[in-house]
Every structure is written in C-alpha cells, then in structure tokens.
Amino acid sequence: MRNLWTDEDTVEFSIPGDRNVEVLGTLRDDPDLAFFMLADAAAVDYGVDAHFEVVYHLFSWKHPGWLRVRARVDRSEPRIRSITDMWEGAMFHEREMYDMMGIVFEGNRDLRRIYMSPDYRSFPLRKDFVLPDDAADSPAAGVNPLERPETWDLSHFREAVAVTFPPSDLRGDAPGEGVEGGDFADSESRPR
C-alpha cells in the first residue's frame, strides 16, 4: 500500500519516523523551500500487521502544489518526536493522533486525550477497533425494546393497517389492489 498513485498536484515522499523533526525543520527554514505553513498532520493505520504513518501536509508560496511528508512509525512501539516546538498549532493535531491511534509524541507537553474521556481505554481509529454490526452492542448503548423487532407485539398489526388504509368499495383487500394501475395513478411511478 506504500507505493500507490497519488494526486498530481501534491509532491509526496516518505521518511523514517525518527527524522521527522530535521526534515520538517529544513523544509521550513531553508529560504528556497520556505514551507512555512503546516496544513495538516494526520495518522494512518496500515493494518494490524503493518505500520502506522504520520502524514504532514505543508504549504509554501514558492512551490505549486502541496507537499506531503509521510513518516513511518512502528506499530509495536509507536513513538515519534513531536513538532510542537516548530509549530505550536500541531499540539491539537498530536493530541488527536494520540487519542485516536495511540501514537506517543515525545516532547509534547500536553499529550492527553482530547476527544474521548480521560479514562477511555481504547484507540478508536485503529484497524483492530471494529465498529459493531448491531448498534445495540456498541459501548454507547443499552437495550431499547423499540429497536428489537422480536419484542414488537404484532397481534394488532392488521387492525392498525386497516385504520391507515381503510377498505373501500374501490379496493381489494390488500393495498395495491383494486384501482387499475395500483395505488398510484401514474403506473410508471408505482414502486416495484
């Protein structure tokens, strides 16, 4: 998944995780490169047996297109140096990456959870955190009888339907019968 196609207005390259500070520092301080703005810092999980990646997007007046720097982070020991010394605005990005993926940023003075409660024990955006198939199994739920069709009492269903679709002399017994073309005058718009 590493060497895939990328969009044509972005220049992208990968670096090992421990060199992120020097690479980003050079990109920012070099007068010809002058990537002064950090547009985005994101984390990607490439799978349970693969690695993480911290992806930085940078902008410069002197170059067309965005620059994407991908720093590879080991999954078993997800640590990388923090860039909050260079851009203070990376603080919230890194807190979010820690909260969602569990990547620890060394040198970040405030690495705590930002979205989830401080005592939350899992990292939601990892690939081994699977969203439940049945909503009632999700950790945010309880049991709501209305969402369990097996608890519905259908013994009065036919009467309830008859109130909404009253039998009339033009109609047959079930909805859809009787009038030519069905319930809908325009037969093309009849649901099939």
Partner 1 sequence: MTRTDPEPRIPDPIELDAAEEARLRAAAGLVPARPESGGEYAGFDQVGIPDRPPQTDREREVYSLDEGEMLINMGPQHPSTHGVMRLVVKVRGEIIVDIDPVLGYLHRGIEKLCENATYTTVLTYVDPMDYLSTMHNEHAPAIAFEKLYGIKAPPRAEYIRALVVELNRVFSHGLMMGFLALDMGGLTPILYSFINRDEIVDMLSAISGQRMLFNFFRVGGVNWDTNDEFLSRLGTWRSRVLKNIEMNEDMITGNEIFRSRTIGMGTLTGDQAISLGVTGPNLRASGVPFDVRKAKPYSIYDELEFDVITHEGGDSYSRYLQRIAEIKQSIHLIDQIIDKMPHGPVQAQVPGIIRPRPGRAYGAVESPRGLYSVYAISDGGPTPYRFRMRDPSFISLQALPKLMPGRLVADTMAVMASLDPVMGGVDK
Partner 2 sequence: MAVDRPTTTDAHGNGNPIVIPDQAANDELLREFGMEEHPQGGFHGLLEVIPTKADYILDLIRANSLWPLLSGLSCCAIEMMSTATSVNDIDRFGMFPFRASPRQADVLIVAGTLTTKMAGPLVRLWEQMPEPKWCVAMGTCTTSGGRFKRSYSVVQGVDRVMPVDVYVPGCPPRPEGLIYGMMKLHELVKQRRGEWRTYVDRGPQRTRWEGDVR
C-alpha 141: how far from chain center:
20
Instruction: Decide if residue 110 touches partner 1 (CB under 8 A).
Output: yes
- When binding is defined by CB under 8 A, the residue of 10, 14, 26, 144 that contacts partner 2 is 144
Question: How many residues interact with partner 1 (rule CB under 8 A)?
Answer: 47
Residue 141 as a binder of partner 2 (CB under 8 A): the answer is: yes
Q: Which pair of structure tokens corresponds to residue 124?
A: 């939601």
In the complex, minimum distance from the CB of residue 35 to partner 1, in angstroms, rounded to a whole number = 11
| H or E element, residue 20 | helix 20-29
Is there binding between residue 139 and partner 2 (CB under 8 A)? Answer: yes
- Binding to partner 1 (CB under 8 A): which residues in 45-64? 45, 55, 57, 59, 61
101: closest CA among 117, 84, 83, 113?
A: 113
1, 4, 48, 143: residue in contact with partner 2 (rule CB under 8 A): 143
Interaction between residue 48 and partner 2 (CB under 8 A): no
Residues 52 and 2 sit within 8 Å (Cβ to Cβ): no
Q: What type of residue sits at position 59?
A: F
Compute how many other C-beta atoms are within 10 angstroms of the C-beta atom of residue 25: 13
Contact between 92 and partner 2 by CB under 8 A: the answer reads no
Start-to-end CA distance of the chain, whole Å, equals 43
**CA gap 81, 22 in Å, rounded:** 10
What does the DSSP 8-state code read for residue 151? G
The binding site for partner 1 (CB under 8 A) comprises 1, 4-10, 12, 36-40, 42, 44-45, 55, 57, 59, 61, 65-66, 68, 87-93, 96, 100, 109-118, 124-125, 129, 131
The binding site for partner 2 (CB under 8 A) comprises 115-117, 124, 129, 131-136, 138-148, 150-151
